[in-house]
Amino acid sequence: MAKVKVVQCWDDGEINDIRLVELLRKYNAKATFNLCPGLMKENERIPDGWVAKGQCGGHYGYISGKLSLKDIPEIYDGFELASHCWLHENVNNVSTADFVKSAVDARNFLEDTVQRSCTGFAWPYGAYTAEACAGLREAGFSYGRTTVNVEYATQCDDTMALHSNCHFLNRNFYDLYNNAKACGVFYFWGHSYEMFDYDKLWEQFEMKLQFISEDPDAEWANVVDIVPLCKK
C-alpha cells in the first residue's frame, strides 16, 4: 500500500518561521514557504510584538515580524520556496497583467536568491480568478494554492486553483488527516505568526509533526510532488 504524502506550506516570510523551521528539521518534515520579497527589507528584520493595551491591530493584538531578504538562503535552506506575489497583491484589486507580473517578479527574485526552481504559487488572501489562473499557467507556474478546504486535495478542476485539506489549527486536524489517507495526500497550510509566542500552541503543533512522522503510513513531500497526482 502506498504511503500518504503529507505536504504543508506557510505564508508571508514571518520572523516566527525561524522557530518553525527548527521544529520541521527536528522531524525531517518537508515544507514550502510562500514569500513576498517586496514586503521584506534588504538587511533588517522587522520585529514582532504586541499592540498597546486598549488598541486594536495585528492578529489578535500580535504584530507579526518579517525576516530580511538576506535571511532567505540560510533560514529556508533545504525547504521549497514559492511565490506569494511581490507585495501580497489581491488579484481582485489589480489588473490580471499586473498581478501575473508581481507573481513572476517574486518567483524570479527567489530563484536568483536560492539558485533553484520556485514554480509554486500561493494566492494572497485566497482570492483567485480564471484569467489569473491562465496567466500564471502561461508564465510557467506549476500550481496555485487557494485557502479553500476540500475533503481530498487531489480532486481539483485546475491545479492553478489547488485546494488543501485544512488550516493547521483546524480542530478536526487528526480526523481530516486520517480521512485524507483514502486519496493518498494530506495538505495543510498556515502562518507561523498564528502561534504567536505561546509555547502551548507551538507544543501542540509539534505533537502534530511527531504524530505524522511516527505514522508508518505517511511520508513528507513537497507541494510540487502532489501536482502530478491531482485530477484535472
- DSSP codes joined into one string, 197-212: T-HHHHHHHHHHHHHH
* Predicted TM-score (pTM) of this structure: 0.97
- The whole-number pLDDT of residue 1 equals 64
What pLDDT does 57 receive? 83
Total domains in the chain come to 1
Q: Where are the beta strands (DSSP E) in 120-159?
A: 145-149
Per-residue pLDDT of 53-99, as tens digits, reads 778 888 999 999 999 999 999 999 999 999 999 999 999 999 999 99
Q: What is the mean pLDDT of residues 100-119?
A: 98
Predicted confidence (pLDDT) per residue in 114-141, tens digit = 999 999 999 999 999 999 999 999 999 9
Q: Note the pLDDT tens digit of each residue in 13-30.
A: 999 999 999 999 999 999
Structure confidence at residue 53 (pLDDT): 73
Closest CA to 83 of 144, 41, 132, 27: 144
Q: For the chain, give the number of residues.
A: 232
- Identify which of 106, 88, 165, 100 has the alpha carbon closest to the alpha carbon of residue 129: 100
Domain range for residue 145?
A: 4-229
Is 150 in contact with 189 (CB distance < 8 Å)?
no
d(CA 177, CA 151): 10
* pLDDT mean across residues, the chain: 96
Predicted local confidence at residue 162, as pLDDT: 97
Question: If pLDDT is split at 50, 70 and 90, which confidence band does 48 have?
Answer: very high
Q: What is the CATH number of the domain that holds 35?
A: 3.20.20.370
Percent of the chain scoring above 90 in pLDDT: 92
Q: What does residue 163 show for φ and ψ, rounded to 5 degrees?
A: -95, 155
**Non-local CB neighbours of 214 within 8 Å, separated by 6+ positions:** none
Within a 10 A sphere around the Cβ of 76, how many other Cβ atoms?
A: 21
In percent, the amount of the chain with pLDDT more than 70 equals 99
pLDDT of residue 15: 97
Quick one: pLDDT band at residue 189, thresholds 50, 70, 90?
very high
Task: Give the 3-state secondary structure of 26-82.
Answer: HCCCCCEEEECHHHCCCCCCECCEECCCCCCCCECCEECCECCHHHHHHHCCCCEEE
Model confidence at 232, pLDDT cuts 50, 70, 90, reads: low
Q: How far is CA 74 from CA 67, 174, 180, 185, in A?
A: 11, 32, 33, 29
Sign of CA pseudo-dihedral 213, 35, 48, 72? positive
| 102: pLDDT strictly greater than 70 | yes
Neighbours of 224 (CB within 10 A): 17
Taking the alpha carbons of 212, 217, 220, 224 in that order, is the dihedral positive or negative?
A: negative
Q: How far is CA 179 from CA 14, 153, 173, 185, 214, in A?
A: 30, 11, 10, 10, 17
pLDDT at 42 exceeding the cut of 80: yes
